[in-house]
Every structure is written in C-alpha cells, then in structure tokens.
Amino acid sequence: MSTLHAVMSRSDVRGLLIRHTGAHVTDDVISAWEVGLAGFSLAECHAALVSMGPAARRATPSEVVGRCEAARDRRTDSADTGHRPIPSARHNRTDYHQQAGLRGIHAVYAQMGWKRNAEHDLARAVPCPFCRAKAGAVCGPLTRNRAGRREARDPVHRMHPSRLERAQADSAGRGAPHHPVKETSR
C-alpha cells in the first residue's frame, strides 16, 4: 500500500476481496475483479471499499471503479495534471490478463448478478485517441485536447466516445493492422 498507483497483483485482489467482501472468493471471481479493477492500485481500491462502509460486502467491480475514478478526478482537479503514469513493467502482464479475462468476463458477471457496461469494457481494451489513456486504463477527465478538439466522457460508459468508436472499428477488423488515428463516421 506504499505506492498509490502500483498495479495490483492477483494476490492483492484476493486479499482485497477476502478483507472487504467476505464473499466466496473463487478463481473466476478473482479474475473478474482483477480485470474489472485493472489500472487501479490496491490503495485506491481499498480506499474505495472503505468509503462504501457495510455496502462494500455487496460491491461490484464497477462500483469500486466508479469510486476510484471519482477520487482520481478530485485529485486531478486539485493537482491540475492531465495524466498519471501506468507502470510499464507491469503493462504486458496487465494486457495478458485483460485479454484472458475479457473472454470469460461476461459469463462471470452474469453468474454473480453484476451489471457491467459492455461498451466500457470494449473501449477500455484500446488506448484512447483523445485523452491518450492507455489500454486497460480509464479515460481521464480531459474535455479539450492539444489539437483543440472537444470531447466529454460518455456518462454511461465513462469513456471518450472516439475511444469507443476506435474499439468498435478494431473489433470489427480484428487482426487487421492498427491504424493510429482513424476517424469513423457512422
């Protein structure tokens, strides 16, 4: 819990769940949370769960993410910095879990009775062309980028709309070469 933005290991996630939810923590449940909380640190998730009080026992990953994001937005507003760095050493590993996890994630969420935003998941799998959030990280609160373009995060899936468009284009042409900036008009 020393570094605020360190990525959680699987055993971090397990410990967090046992401590806060007391739920039956199966491998599938840990995987679901690991993917759901990717990009957030143990300290952030711990703080989010603590802030929920007794409701933490029934918390869903997206509720915890919502609280973590709100806390980051507050910090970003006060610090006036655009982005936090994601530790690159863990990045490939996170990618791996991201992809492995996303394959089975919807089944686990359905099984647990959790609501999950499919567009959020889809957008999160690619980097954001607008705010430059990396794959696996959530969009920052940026509303105007250096090119002067304006874009607000979607209130439902909480990502920049152009990121979702990119992800949708990517998943439509999976395996095709990556085009860094592709304007899609639908």
94-133 residues in contact with Zn ion (CB under 5 A) are 128, 130-131, 133
Query: Buried b vs exposed e over 158-185: b needs ≥16 C-beta within 10 Å?
Result: bbbbbbbbbbbbbeeeeeeeeeeeeeee
Among 122, 138, 139, 164, binds Zn ion (CB under 5 A): 139
- Nearer residue to Zn ion within complex by CB, 17 or 131: 131
Nearer to Zn ion, 26 or 143 (CB): 143
Asked if 5 and 41 count as a contact pair (C-beta separation under 8 A), the reply is yes
Residue 8 tokens, joined? 């959680």
Count the alpha carbons within 13 Å of 153 in the hemisphere toward its beta carbon.
Answer: 19
Residues in contact with Zn ion, shown as a per-residue x/- string from 147 to 186 under the rule CB under 5 A: -------------x--------------------------
* Contact region with Zn ion (CB under 5 A), list: 20-28, 54-62, 86-94, 139-147: 139-147
How many residues belong to the chain?
186
Residues interacting with Zn ion, by CB under 5 A?
A: 128, 130-131, 133, 139, 160
